[in-house]
Amino acid sequence: MSEAVISAQLRNEKANKARRQGFIPGVIYGKDVRSASIKVDQKEFRKVLQGRKVSRVILKLGDEAKNCIIKEVQRDPINGQILHVDFQTIHSDDIIRLKVPIAFHGKEKLAAHQLLLQEFITEVEISGKAADLPEFISIDIGDSRLGDKITVADLKISDNIRILEDSNEILAVVSTAKFEAREESEAGSEEEGEATGDGE
């Protein structure tokens, strides 16, 4: 999978001023670069992140292009706005730790049997050479049955990569769509009763 490309500029102004100008302030650091304050276009960055979790990017800073991982994204706890982003440069032989999303495949097959997947954990931390780390980890849950638990141990990954999570950690559980619908209906009835004073 090709890595996303993001353009950046060196930043001299304060973070709040950069935000007012439509940028996201950030920093780039790593073994081969001096730490520097930068800024990326807010619309461009959101477009890259839209609809998927991106861990690795190519950061274009002036005439240079750096392979980076998005080490941290700080968001406003109220409105979710991106406030700051940290980029760490990497090389193919670097041993790094990285959180990658889990792609659950086969949900349509479950739905055909009136089942659904309740997802509790959608990403895991892995470790290995930067060149070997995947963008995401896929798992097929289409043949799962009611009550089946999907755990970290069910994830299949190459031997040169380690998953840094407890193998017994539950990622998702297969439940019935009817049960979910009934729960939502009951919750709605309770809220309606409270609103009309029936609960007193």
- As a whole number, mean pLDDT of residues 63-87 equals 90
Architecture of domain 4-90: Beta Barrel (2.40)
Among 14-18, 104-108, 170-174, 180-184, whose mean pLDDT is lowest?
A: 180-184
DSSP state of 79: T
Task: Tally the C-alpha atoms within 13 A of residue 28's C-alpha that lie toward its C-beta.
Answer: 26
What is the predicted pLDDT for the residue at 72? 87
For the segment 94-98, the average pLDDT, to the nearest whole number, is 88
Which string of DSSP letters, residue by residue, matches 111-172? HHTTEEEEES--EEEEEEETTT--S-EEEE-TT--TT-EEEGGG----TT-EE-S-TT-EEE
Enumerate the CATH 2.40.240.10 domain ranges in the chain, comma separated: 4-90
Asked whether the predicted pLDDT for residue 16 surpasses 50, the reply is yes
Domain with CATH 2.170.120.20 in the chain: 97-191
Task: Please state which architecture CATH assigns to domain 97-191.
Answer: Beta Complex (2.170)
* Whole-model pTM over 0.75: no
Phi, psi of 189 (to 5 degrees): -65, -40
For residue 91, the one-letter residue type is H
